[in-house]
Amino acid sequence: MSPARVAVVGSGPAGLAAAEALGGQAEVHVFEAMPSMGRKFLLAGRSGLNLTHGEALETFLTRFGAARSVLERALRAFPPQAIRHWADELGIDTFVGSSGRVFPTTMKTSPLLRAWLARLTDAGVQTHVRHLWQGWEPDGALTFTTPQGRRTFDAAATVLALGGASWPRLGSTGRWHSLLEARGVAVRPLRPANCGFDVTWSSHFRNRFAGSPLKSVRLTFAGLSLPGDLVITETGIEGSSVYALSGALRDAISAQGAATLVVDLIPDRSGARLTEALSRPRGKTTFSNWLRKATGMNPVKIALLREAFDLSADPSPAAIAAAIKSLPLILERPRPIAEAISSAGGIALSEINQHFMLRKLPGVFVAGEMLDWEAPTGGYLLTACLATGRAAGAGVVEWLQRTADAAPPPGRGA
C-alpha cells in the first residue's frame, strides 16, 4: 500500500518542522508561494539567528501568556535544549549569549537552512515553489496558482503553516485569513506584535536624533517594568525593550487611543541623589552642559528630556530629577503590521484540538504564527513555531493511523 500524501503549505520554520516530523511516515509535499524556501526565516537571522533561549523551561513557558495552556504540550515535547540538539545534528554548533539567547556560532541562518533542506530531501520530502494556495476545491482538493497555471492537489491530510502578516514581501501576507473564515473557522484580526510605536517628535529632535540609541534605561507600563535599550526613529521608538511591552501597549492604544510609556533615563541613580546633584550651583555653564555634568546623561537623553518635559514649567532640581526618573512618552499608534517582527491574532486557539487539527476541518492541521498567540523576541517566537510545527506533523501521523481505512480529503464537507 502506497503511503498517504500529505501537503504542507508554507516553508517557514513551522512548515519545515511539520515536514520533518512527517518524513518517512507519509509522502510529504511542501508548497511555497515564494520563489525559494524559508525567506522570512533567512531574513530573521540577518543580524544573528536567535534560535531559542537558555533559561529554565518553567520560566520559558511563562513567556507565552494566556496561550501557554494550549502551547505547553508542544513546547515540552520540543524544548530549547532539544532545539540545540537538533541544530547540532544538522552540523550547527550553538552558544548561549550573555542575555541567555541561543545563537549558532556562525550567527547565520543560511548554513542551518541548507542543511535542514538537504536532510528533508534525503527523507523524501518534495518541495514546490511558486505555488500560491487558493483554498479548496468542492471535492476537497487543495488548489494553487502557479506560473504554469492552476494546479490541484489531493491530500489525505494538510498542514497549514502560512505565518502571520508581518513582512508580507517575504510571503507572510495573511491572505489565508478569509479562506478559513469562509469555512467557518474563527479567526482573530491580525495585529502587529514586537513592533515600534509612533511618537510626535518636534522637527528639531527628529532631524537630529532619529536613528540614535537610548541605552541603559528602564521602561514601565501597566505595572510591567524592565531594563533595556531603545532606538529613536523618525516616527517614534523601537527596540527589544519596547517589543517586550508591545502587546500591552498596543492593546491600551486600541482601547484608549494612546498609551503613556514611562522612561527612567538613569535607572542606577535614585531621585534623591539626582536632586542633590542638580542642586549644586550652575554657574555660567549652559543648561545642557550643567545637566550632563550633574547627571552623566549623553546628548540623546538630555534632548529627550527636553522634548518630553517642559522644563520652563518647573525648573527646580526636584522636578527635573523626577522627570529624569519618570519621563512620560505618549505613544499614539503601533507601527504598521508590515514592519512588525511578528503578528498577534490569527486562528482562535479554541478552534484546534490537542494535535493542532482544526475541529471544523478534520484532516487540516495548523501551526506557527497562524495561531492566535504572541511572545517576545529572544528565541521564543522561533521555538514555538518549531514546536507547533512538529506537533502538527505528529498529529497528522496519528490522524493517518486512525483513518487509514477511510480518510476523507481535508476540508470536504466543511
Considering only the C-alpha atoms of the chain, give the largest distance between any 2 of them, rounded to a whole number of Å: 92
Cα–Cα distances in angstroms (integers) from residue 40 to residues 46, 57, 93, 290, 301, in the given order = 10, 26, 22, 48, 34
> Low-confidence residues of the chain, pLDDT below 70?
1, 405-414
CA 229 to the chain's CA centroid? 18
Q: Please give the pLDDT value at position 46.
A: 75
Q: Please give the pLDDT value at position 225.
A: 94
Round to whole Å and give the CA distance between 392 and 386.
10
**pTM metric for this prediction:** 0.91
Identify which of 219, 157, 42 has the alpha carbon closest to the alpha carbon of residue 404.
Answer: 157
Round to whole Å and give the CA distance between 185 and 199.
37
Question: 302's torsion region: left (phi>0), alpha (psi -120 to 50) or beta?
Answer: alpha
C-alpha cell at position 95 = 552558544
CA angle 241, 243, 246 (to 5 degrees): 120
Q: Among all chains, which residue has been given the C-alpha cell 552623566? A: 296
Cα–Cα distances in angstroms (integers) from residue 361 to residues 287, 354, 414, in the given order = 67, 14, 6
The total of other beta-carbon atoms located within 10 Å of residue 220's CB is 15
Q: Please give the pLDDT value at position 412.
A: 47
Q: Are 275 and 317 in contact (CB under 8 A)?
A: yes
Provide the total of helices (H) and of strands (E) in the chain, helices listed first: 14, 20
CA 83 to the chain's CA centroid? 18
Round to whole Å and give the CA distance between 241 and 284.
38
Find the length of the chain: 414
Q: Are 246 and 331 in contact (CB under 8 A)?
A: no
Q: Please give the pLDDT value at position 414.
A: 35
